[in-house]
Amino acid sequence: MDAPANLPIKSGEGQDELITATIECDRMQWHDTGIVLASRRHGERALLLHVLTEEHGRHAGLVRNGQSARERGTYVIGNRLDLTWRARLSEHLGTIRAELEKSHAASFIDDGPRLAALASAAALADATLPDQEPHPRAFRGLLDLIGALERDRGWAERYVRWELDLLAELGFGLDLASCAATGRNDNLIYVSPRSGQAVSASAGEPYRDKLLVLPPFLLADTRPSPGELTDGLALTGFFFERRVVEPHGRKMPAARARFVDAVGRMATISGKVLA
């Protein structure tokens, strides 16, 4: 392969040339662990794949023959892959070769609400994380959420906390430690839609209709009620829309709306705390 035009090679410096060429090659090929966020057909045989990787962030790539019967089950949302990305230049789309490490959703394929949670998390990560920018905390958080979904234990609460963590990772974290008005940390039941900071019951009472509800489980290690889960999703959803999605002229993923509806239906039908 010819050396890229922007490769700074100086004559007579063989060692520097080797090091610089190696760095450039690393940009055009890398190997990592990734979680499938989305895939769609591209032509008759290929797939356009979006993955969240541990060290290289959110990446897209073309999977040749990805629609074949042999490969189809590999690129399901939530699957963990051992993958290699290659491109002629780092800004190109590139191609992906992958081997399946684990099919996470296989253990709850018949559980609609858990599948909806997985689809929502993948779609939200795909819609909000910047392209080709490492976010290892977001990767680990998504993997932890998938683990909770597999165990069928605490997954709904973990989902809401995952959205809070993703907001923080994107630079829009909420401050739930103390009251925006008084600085105290007792009886915090609201969140200011402007500052994203908690507000106490007494300070927020005159403005209660304009404030967001802060569910108690986000402040303490308690099991949430169905209503608290709904309030938590409303809280994170508000800040995703106002601070992350709408400024770029986009809308929240439809998969998230379906998950919120699923949580609401489960709460209405069962009246019990979700797993």
Q: Report in angstroms the alpha-carbon separations of 172 from 19, 133, 163.
A: 38, 17, 11
**Of all helices (H) and strands (E), which one includes residue 34?**
strand 29-42
pLDDT of residue 11: 38
Q: Rounded distance, CA 189 to CA 213, Å?
A: 6
Q: What are the tens digits of pLDDT across the range 203-248?
A: 999 999 999 999 999 999 888 998 999 999 999 999 999 999 999 9
Q: Rounded distance, CA 274 to CA 212, Å?
A: 22
In a domain, 108, yes or no: no
Residue 270, judged by CB atoms within 10 A of its CB (0-12, 13-18, 19+), counts as exposed
In a domain, 203, yes or no: no
User: Could you list the pLDDT tens digit for every one of the 275 residues in the chain?
Assistant: 444 433 343 434 444 443 333 444 445 899 999 999 999 999 889 999 999 999 999 999 999 988 898 888 899 999 999 999 998 876 678 999 999 999 999 999 999 999 999 999 999 999 999 999 999 999 999 999 999 999 999 999 999 999 999 999 999 999 999 999 999 999 999 999 999 999 999 999 999 999 999 999 999 988 899 899 999 999 999 999 999 999 999 999 999 999 999 998 876 655 554 55
Q: Rounded distance, CA 95 to CA 29, Å?
A: 10
pLDDT of residue 10: 40
In a domain, 139, yes or no: yes
Residue where a domain stops, chosen among 57, 72, 102: 102
Tell whether 37 and 148 lie within a shared domain.
Answer: no
Residue where a domain stops, chosen among 76, 102, 128: 102
Neighbouring CB atoms inside 10 A of 2's CB total 5
Q: Which two tokens stand for residue 268?
A: 């209405």
- pTM to 2 decimal places: 0.85
Tell whether 171 and 122 lie within a shared domain.
Answer: yes
Tell whether 137 and 32 lie within a shared domain.
Answer: no
pLDDT of residue 12: 43
Tell whether 42 and 167 lie within a shared domain.
Answer: no
Tell whether 82 and 132 lie within a shared domain.
Answer: no
Tell whether 96 and 150 lie within a shared domain.
Answer: no
In a domain, 197, yes or no: no
pLDDT of residue 100: 95
In a domain, 126, yes or no: yes
Q: Which two tokens stand for residue 163?
A: 């959205």
In a domain, 15, yes or no: no
Tell whether 59 and 147 lie within a shared domain.
Answer: no
Q: Which two tokens stand for residue 222?
A: 């308690």
In a domain, 77, yes or no: yes
Output the furthest CA–CA distance in the chain (Å, rounded): 76
Tell whether 147 and 249 lie within a shared domain.
Answer: yes
- Runs of H (alpha helix) within 133-223: 136-151, 155-169, 201-204
Total of domains in the chain: 2
Q: Rounded distance, CA 38 to CA 122, Å?
A: 7
Exposure b/e, 79-89, CB count within 10 A at least 16 = b: bbbebbbebee
The DSSP call for residue 244 is I
Neighbouring CB atoms inside 10 A of 155's CB total 23
In a domain, 1, yes or no: no
259 lies in which domain range? Answer: 115-176+214-270
Residue where a domain stops, chosen among 102, 136, 157: 102
The DSSP call for residue 157 is H
Q: Report in angstroms the alpha-carbon separations of 183 from 175, 178, 179, 197, 211.
A: 11, 5, 5, 10, 17
Q: Rounded distance, CA 17 to CA 10, Å?
A: 7
Tell whether 164 and 55 lie within a shared domain.
Answer: no
Tell whether 130 and 256 lie within a shared domain.
Answer: yes
pLDDT of residue 6: 39
